[in-house]
Each structure stands twice: as C-alpha cells, then as structure tokens.
C-alpha cells in the first residue's frame, strides 16, 4: 500500500511539483493525496490542480498568532484525507511543539542550505556572505526548532565567485528537486530509522567520493 502524503505549501510549489512528478511512478511508495496551502494565492495550488491532485486552502491569516487553532483545522483535514506523512514545501507558518511532536518522524522539510549551516531566513544570502565554496540543500525531519531536526538527505552545489542570490538559489533548487523525492521514497519505504537526533538509512550509499569547489587544476 502506498503511503498517503500531504504536501503543505505557501508559494510557488516547485518542490511540490517535483514530488508529484516522482509519485507518478508505479513503484513509488507514496501517493500525494492532497496539497494544502495556508494562502489562497499560492501559485503552487494551480500547478497541483493541473496535475489532478486535490487541493485545500486553510487561510492562516485569520488565526493570527493562535497557531494551535490553525493546527486544529489542519489536523481535521489531514484526518479526513487519511494522511500518514507530511512534506513541507516552502510552508511559511510555524507550528506548535505539540503538533511537531505528534508528527515527529512523519513530517519532512526541505531547506536550501547544508544544515546546520544557515538556518532561517535568507539562507542563500547567508551562504554568500560567509564565502562558502559549497552549499546545497537538506531534507530533514521537522522538530520544534526551525530548520533543525535529523538530516535525511543532502545535495551539494558549488558556489561561484560573483554568484547572486538568484543564481545560487536556482542552482540549489535543482538539487532540491532531486533530493526531496528521494528522501520521501526512503521514508515511505520504511528505510529511515531515527536514533536520537540522527537519522540512519538502511542500505545507504553515497553518490561519489567527494565534491571539490573550486575545481582543482
């Protein structure tokens, strides 16, 4: 049986689109049962509908800082859709610790940096200002702390001299779209094991020996 997944978005939904595309494969162990947005104007909603995925809008603004009240409505929807796993894809709303605890081990997020470096806002700008030569993206389990939690998968890209935030974010986005479906595949097929703050992967293999940036002569 495929695991039933909800993707939560607030904006353009390009990671959502990558997950939807991957889940079309007959042997993918998860199905995208619903896309939920906390903003009616999220561009990703149209993309989801065009792919034949059902969508729900739960506007978060009227709830203000009452996070628990928003989550109550969200939980109801997740229950109705018989959701087992959640993928956050640019979902710009904080959760209460209670909600996160309830979904611990069943909720993934993606962040455009090699965590634990550069959590929070403007990770691309943070990377450029730090002058790192390699950055990337991280899929991790969600914990109450923002952009923290056991790391499932990371993908690295070079950072070039003269990179703008836009150029770096575009390069990282390509790796995000590659790793998020893979991380969901691992979770849905039961190959991830949480050991304290770490995530272990059954049958893990790395793609290559290393990535060096800039390229040595």
Q: Is 77 in the site for ligand GAR (CB under 6 A)?
A: no
Q: Identify which range of 29-37, 108-116, 185-193, 203-211 contacts ligand GAR by CB under 6 A.
A: 108-116
Does 39 bind ligand GAR (CB under 6 A)? Our answer is: no
Which is the catalytic residue, given 111, 124, 140, 177? Answer: 111
The distance of closest approach from Cβ of residue 58 to ligand GAR in the complex, given in angstroms and rounded to an integer, is: 17
Contact of 64 with 36, CB cutoff 8 Å: no
CA–CA distance, 11 with 14 (Å, rounded to integer): 9
Min dist. Cβ of residue 8 to ligand GAR (A): 10
Residue 11 lies near ligand GAR (rule: CB under 6 A): yes
Helix (H, G, I), strand (E, B) or coil at 33: strand
Selected range binding ligand GAR among 4-12, 28-36, 94-102, 125-133, rule: CB under 6 A? 4-12
127 binding ligand GAR? (CB under 6 A):
no
Pick one of 99, 108, 112, 127: the residue that binds ligand GAR (CB under 6 A): 112
Residue of the chain from 7, 8, 13, 141 that contacts ligand GAR (CB under 6 A):
13
Measured at the CA of 188, the angle between CA 50 and CA 41, to 5 degrees, comes to 30
- Each residue 130-149 as x (binds ligand GAR by CB under 6 A) or -, in order, gives -----------------x--
**Residue 179: partners with Cβ closer than 8 Å, 6 or more residues away:** 110, 137, 139, 153, 154, 155
Q: Which pair of tokens denotes residue 134?
A: 């390699």
Per CB under 6 A, 125 contacts ligand GAR: no
Kindly give the pairing relationship between strand 151-158 and strand 134-141. Answer: antiparallel
DSSP 99-164: HHHHTTTTEEEEESS-TTSS-SS-HHHHHHHHT-SEEEEEEEE--SSTT-S-EEEEEEEE--TT--
User: Taking the CB of residue 211, how many other CB atoms lie within 10 A of it?
Assistant: 14
Q: Which two tokens stand for residue 111?
A: 């962040």
**Annotated catalytic residue 111:** yes
Among the listed ranges 52-60, 67-75, 106-114, 148-156, the one in contact with ligand GAR (CB under 6 A) is 106-114
Q: Of residues 149-208, which lie at the interface with ligand GAR (CB under 6 A)?
A: 173, 176
Q: Active-site positions?
A: 111
């Amino acid at each position: 049986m495929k695991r039933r997944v909800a993707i939560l978005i607030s904006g353009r939904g390009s990671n959502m689109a990558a997950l939807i595309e991957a889940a079309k494969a007959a042997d993918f162990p998860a199905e995208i049962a619903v896309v939920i947005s906390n903003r009616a104007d999220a561009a990703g909603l149209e993309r989801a509908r065009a792919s034949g995925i059902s969508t729900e809008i739960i506007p978060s603004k009227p709830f203000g800082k009452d996070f628990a009240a928003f989550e109550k409505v969200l939980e109801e929807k997740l229950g109705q859709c018989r959701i087992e796993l959640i993928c956050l894809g640019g979902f710009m709303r904080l959760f209460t610790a209670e909600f996160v605890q309830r979904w611990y081990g069943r909720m993934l997020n993606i962040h455009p940096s090699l965590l634990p470096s550069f959590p929070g806002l403007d990770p691309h700008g943070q990377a450029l200002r730090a002058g790192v030569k390699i950055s990337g993206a991280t899929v991790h389990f969600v914990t109450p702390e923002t952009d923290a939690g056991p790391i499932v998968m990371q993908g690295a890209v070079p950072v070039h001299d003269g990179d703008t935030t836009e150029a770096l974010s575009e390069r990282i986005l390509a790796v995000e779209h590659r790793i998020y479906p893979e991380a969901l595949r691992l979770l849905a097929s039961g190959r991830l094991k949480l050991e304290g703050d770490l995530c272990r992967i059954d049958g893990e293999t790395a793609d290559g020996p290393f990535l060096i940036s800039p390229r040595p002569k």
